[in-house]
Amino acid sequence: MTIRPILDPCCGSRMFWFDRQDGRAVFGDIRQEAHSLQDRSSPGGSRQLVIAPDVLLDFRALPYGDASFHLVVFDPPHLVQNGRSGWLAKKYGKLGADWRDDLRAGFAECFRVLRPNGTLIFKWNEHEVRVSEILALTDQKPLFGNRCGKTAKSHWIVFMKPEATA
């Protein structure tokens, strides 16, 4: 089996992908579901939210060998307090009570499956938890990042996995 060079282990509805069927990426998620969301700007007043990963997986225990991917896109759920039935939770997913341990394990797994000198793109929204609290959950140091969004609460942060040391 040929493995694709990119892993997105929390793909959700693949919102930020230019090509949501990009053949270079493995799209994974713990959820597989569809919802009709009210949206006044859409025809008929609603739109479909479809989460259909290539592979059902848990970002805390990825089913891939060490150094399998050139690029990992890690966009985990960022909501802790929002209810499970709200549209934000449906769209982005929700973290559990042990979210710090979950994200710590997620970072470790993403770096484990990343090749040396590979790139990890991390996306986080500070709606409920500051990015500084999240970056404290990994010993890897970011290279650079960018804030965006209407309130500048979304962060895109780039890491590069160091070369293995002998």
Split at pLDDT 50, 70, 90, the class of 41 is confident
Task: Establish if 61 belongs to a structural domain.
Answer: yes
Over residues 50-73, mean pLDDT: 96
CA angle 91, 94, 99 (to 5 degrees): 150
Instruction: Check residue 42 and give its pLDDT.
Output: 67
Please give the tally of structural domains in the chain. 1
Task: Establish if 142 belongs to a structural domain.
Answer: yes
The alpha carbon of 45 is separated from its chain's Cα centroid by a whole number of angstroms, namely 28
Contact between 79 and 125 under an 8 Å Cβ cutoff? The reply is no
Task: Establish if 166 belongs to a structural domain.
Answer: no
Q: What is the pLDDT of residues 2-23, one digit of tens each?
A: 589 999 999 998 989 999 999 9
Contact between 27 and 56 under an 8 Å Cβ cutoff? The reply is no
CATH number for the domain spanning 49: value is 3.40.50.150
Q: Is the pLDDT score of 161 beyond 70?
A: yes
Task: Establish if 47 belongs to a structural domain.
Answer: yes
| Maximum C-alpha span of the chain | 60
Which two three-digit tokens encode residue 117? 């000198």
* Integer Cα distance of 64 and 114 in angstroms: 10
Q: Which residue has the higher pLDDT, 165 or 35?
A: 35
Domain range holding 156?
6-160
Q: Which amino acid is at 42?
A: S
| Spatial CA neighbour of 55 closest among 110, 21, 9 | 9
* Integer Cα distance of 40 and 49 in angstroms: 15
Instruction: Check residue 127 and give its pLDDT.
Output: 83
Task: Establish if 90 belongs to a structural domain.
Answer: yes
Q: Is the pLDDT score of 35 beyond 70?
A: yes
Q: Give pTM, 2 decimals.
A: 0.88
Split at pLDDT 50, 70, 90, the class of 131 is very high
Over residues 129-140, mean pLDDT: 95
Task: Establish if 126 belongs to a structural domain.
Answer: yes
Task: Establish if 62 belongs to a structural domain.
Answer: yes
Split at pLDDT 50, 70, 90, the class of 60 is very high
Q: What is the pLDDT of residues 74-130, one digit of tens each?
A: 999 988 886 666 767 777 778 888 999 999 999 999 999 999 999 999 999 998 899
Contact between 112 and 66 under an 8 Å Cβ cutoff? The reply is yes
